[in-house]
Homo-oligomer: A and B are copies of this chain.
Amino acid sequence: MIDKRVRSVAEALSGIHDGATVLVGGFGAVGQANILIEGLIEHGARDLTVVANNAGYGRVGLARLLEVGRVRKLICSFPRIVGSTIFETLYKAGRIELELVPQGTLAERMRAASAGIPAFFTATGAGTQLAEGKETREIDGRTYVLEQALPGDVAIVEAWRADRWGNLTYRSSGRNFNPVMAAAGKLTVVQTQHMVELGEIDPETVVTPGIFVDRVLHVPYGDPTG
């Protein structure tokens, strides 16, 4: 019987290696699998590359992981939000590397990775500092930048509902990067608010089909704060 449910944070995160690229879902404080993200501290993996839209806020979740020095590099569109003081301190001290990526290019690079597309052209960033050193091409009179797929060794996502096959739904703006990252992770680990029986999720409304999911941990933590 296929059963992707795991019973502990340790089980959910087992096998993540030093130097891994970790895709971390969420946008602002909504849709972040903070229990799993903070679980990486106990887990012990070092030298991580983290892909996330923001650099965390306050001292929880991703911000906490940064604070304890486990992240070598952040690939990110908007590290500077209210409360992202930990990242800013590390960055100014030269203790973390930053690859700044336009938000849509970030999403599309992961979508490409999930879809077997190694590279694609986009107009985003053409003629800007963020395209420096990248291949460009004129197509029908417009300049496009060639962007590379961005796969994750691990994706850490938050869902609203999950079943034992790993089918997922999300809640409201908690969807954000989570389905994109779930599909782009070689190992996809889910923190879900609700664990439901197989068949409870209408086949028409599954957002992430279980094929993209490896492990599901039930964490009914309630509403996001911050």
B-binding residues in A (CB < 8 A): 108, 112, 115-123, 139-140, 142, 144, 169-172, 202, 204-205
Contact = CB atoms under 8 A, between A and B. Distances in A.
26 contacts: A108-B115, A108-B117, A112-B120, A116-B122, A116-B123, A117-B120, A117-B121, A117-B122, A118-B121, A118-B139, A118-B140, A118-B142, A118-B144, A119-B120, A119-B121, A119-B139, A119-B144, A120-B120, A120-B121, A169-B204, A170-B204, A171-B204, A172-B204, A202-B205, A204-B205, A205-B205
Nearest to A144: B118
Nearest to A203: B172
A140 B117 CA distance: 12
Contacts of A118: 121, 139-140, 142, 144
Nearest to A175: B204
How often does this chain occur in the complex, in copies?
2
Nearest to A123: B116
Nearest to A117: B120
A121 to B, nearest CB: 5
A34 to B, nearest CB: 22
A135 to B, nearest CB: 10
A141 to B, nearest CB: 11
A108 B31 CA distance: 28
Nearest to A148: B139
Contacts of A171: 204
Nearest to A207: B204
Contacts of A142: 118
Nearest to A170: B204
A120 B142 CA distance: 16
A122 to B, nearest CB: 6
